[in-house]
Amino acid sequence: MTGPVYCALVHHPVRDREGHPLTSAITNVDVHDIARSARTFGLAGYFVVSPIAAQRLVVDRILDHWRTGAGARRVPERTDALSRCHPVASIEEAAQRIEAEHGAGPEWIVTEARPVDRTIVSYAEARAHLARTSRPALILFGTAHGLHASVLARADVVIAPIEGVGAYNHLSVRAAAAITFDRLFAPA
């Protein structure tokens, strides 16, 4: 992998059961669990996306607890992971921050739990793609019922859904992120 890779947990725009756009609520466990997974697999940073200022304030409070509060003293390993986490108002803001840092906007790489009407790539193909590109990459994970169609339409790469055994397929976003990072970045 030559370009820096970031991830974002997207709370807007995501979709409801019927595919309509909505904004989902941020949860504490998603913030720190995905930060820990992103740090474990060497990602350059992690963005939590919500247009709601009060929700971003929740993220700031979680980060304060783990960066400088009681959590930092009890579990310093989380402080390191959460030092790379940033609340932002939009995916575009995350992309602008990456571009400001690296001089190039990131490719949008999306994960999707359901089959989509687009060309999708396997994890092996996505891994090879990341290894040969020098551009930054931003891997997007959707909450609620997944990323809204408007985000999928802007994606540069769509990774095939994670498939389990049988018809049931409803992983938590933090489990999907950990599986995705393992498949893309774990040593062979």
Decide which of 3.30.70.1060, 3.40.1280.10, 3.40.50.300, 3.20.20.70 is the CATH code for 5-185.
Answer: 3.40.1280.10
Distance in angstroms (rounded) separating the CA atoms of residues 27 and 5: 23
Cα separation values, 152 from 12, 80, 112, 162, Å? 13, 31, 9, 17
pLDDT in tens, the chain (188 residues): 589 999 999 999 999 999 999 999 999 999 999 999 999 999 999 999 999 999 999 999 999 998 898 988 998 888 999 999 999 999 999 999 999 999 999 999 998 877 677 788 999 999 999 999 999 999 999 999 999 999 999 999 999 999 889 888 789 999 999 999 999 999 97
Phi, psi of 32 (to 5 degrees): -80, -30
Alpha-carbon 36 to chain mean position: 12
- Length of the chain (residues): 188
